[in-house]
Amino acid sequence: MRASDAGRHISGAEGIFSANSVLNVARKYTSRAMRHERGAPDNITITIEALTDEPELIRTLPVCTMKNEVEAASNELVCRLLASIGVSGIAATSALELLRGGDAMRGAALMDMAGQRLEPDRARGVRVSRIGITDAARARLRRLLRNFGIDSETVIEALVLASKVNHHPKVIAELCVSDDPGYTTGYVASSAFGYLRIPHVKAAGSSSGGRVFFVRDGGVEGLIDYLERAPVMVSSAGPVFGTFAADEFFEGAT
Ligand code: PML
C-alpha cells in the first residue's frame, strides 16, 4: 500500500499473506492510510501480486533498546553505534542530515561510505517489498516483545523489514527515523549487532524521517532487486533484550 497527498508521502505498508486473508489486509491497509497522522491522502494505491518464487526464510534480528533520554543526545549515540558497526563518520553525518531535513522520504536511500547516495532515482528511493512473517513467528515474537512492553504492529513491521534488509551481505547497517510526527523512536540495525532501538531519536511533531541503508562498495543493482522483488519471510523470532546504556552495551558486545 502507498498513500500520498499531492505527491507527498503519507504512509506505506507491505506484507506477504495467504490468499484468503487478502481482502482483510486490503481493508486494514486502506483504513490505516485514511487515518494516518501525516494527513488525509488523495491517492491510495494497493497492489496485490501472486508470488511465483518460494520466500527465503529468515529469523528476526536480536532486539534491544538503547538508553537515550533526550533528542539532543541522539546524534552522538547514532554516530557511535554506526561507527562501531564500521560505518564512516561522513556517511553517518550525511544520513542524519538527510533524515532530519525536509519532509519524509518516499523510499529508502542507499549510501556508500563516502556519504554518496547510490539509488538510481533519488526522489523515489528504494522500496523494500515482499516481506512477511509466519503466524507462528509472529505469535512467538509478540510474546517476547510483550516482556518489554514493546509489542506493537509498528515494532513488528519495522523489525521484519530490517531483518530482510540486513540479511543481504552488501548491507553494512540501516538507520531509520520514523516519519510519523508522533513516533519518536528510531533504530540502527545491522547483522553485526542486531536491531538497536533509539528512543527520542527525533523531536515529537517533526514529519521528517525515512531510512538509509549503508552499503559496501560496488554495484547496487543486485541489492535493489533483492530489496524490491525477492520474497523473504520471517519464520522464527530472534531474542529480545531490555534496555542498555551505550557503555554497558559496548562492554557486552566487544
Ligand atoms: C516506522 O514508523 O515505520 C518506523 C518505526 C521505527 C521504530 C520502531 C520501533 O519502535 O522499534
Share of the chain above pLDDT 90, in %: 85
d(CA 137, CA 147): 16
Q: For residue 195, which atom of ligand 1 is closest to its CA? A: 11
Confidence at residue 250, expressed as pLDDT on a 0 to 100 scale: 79
For ligand 1, whether the C-beta of 21 sits within 6 Å is no
- Atom 7 (ligand 1): residue with closest C-alpha? 186
- Atom 11 (ligand 1): residue with closest C-alpha? 155
Give the Å distance between the CA of 78 and the centre of ligand 1. Answer: 15
Q: For residue 197, which atom of ligand 1 is closest to its CA? A: 11
For ligand 1, whether the C-beta of 176 sits within 6 Å is yes
C-alpha dihedral, 201 to 207 to 208 to 209, nearest 10°: 60
Confidence at residue 62, expressed as pLDDT on a 0 to 100 scale: 98
For ligand 1, whether the C-beta of 209 sits within 6 Å is no
Mean pLDDT calculated for residue range 186-193 = 98
For the chain, the average pLDDT equals 94
Name the grid cell of 217: 562498495
Q: For residue 161, which atom of ligand 1 is closest to its CA? A: 3
User: Which residues are CB-contacts of 223 (< 8 A; sequence separation ≥ 6)?
Assistant: 110, 168, 170, 171, 215
How many Å from the N-terminal Cα to the C-terminal Cα in the chain? 41
Q: For residue 65, which atom of ligand 1 is closest to its CA? A: 11
pTM score: 0.94
Confidence of residue 253 (pLDDT cuts 50, 70, 90): low
Give the Å distance between the CA of 120 and the centre of ligand 1. Answer: 26
113-133 pLDDT, tens digit per residue, is 999 999 999 888 999 999 999
Residue ranges of domains in the chain: 1-50, 53-253
153-162 pLDDT, tens digit per residue, is 999 999 999 9
